[in-house]
Amino acid sequence: LTAQVTGSVRWVESMRHLIAAGHRLFIELGPDTALAGMLGKIDREAKVISVKDTATLDAAVAELGS
């Protein structure tokens, strides 16, 4: 557990792996869109749906349902 808390995060590598595997839609949960911005620098074609409150959750559900 200590290694997980203090170790480096390999987020960019993880996102590149997901993109290489064909994933193009990502959902970010949280108060801002920091990860969406970082993902946009990795792959401009990746789509990110940001959910920060009930209104954006409802919009995300509607978009995903279509």
Inform me whether the pLDDT recorded for 1 exceeds 80: no
Inform me whether the pLDDT recorded for 4 exceeds 90: no
User: What confidence score (pLDDT) does residue 2 get?
Assistant: 78
Containing domain of residue 19, as a range? 2-65
User: What confidence score (pLDDT) does residue 45 get?
Assistant: 94
pLDDT tens track for 35-55: 999 999 999 999 999 999 999
User: What confidence score (pLDDT) does residue 9 get?
Assistant: 83
Q: What is the mean pLDDT of residues 12-24?
A: 96
User: What confidence score (pLDDT) does residue 29 get?
Assistant: 95
* Tally of structural domains, the chain: 1
DSSP 4-41: HHHSPP-HHHHHHHHHHTT--EEEEESSS-HHHHHHHH
CATH number for the domain that contains residue 59: 3.90.25.70
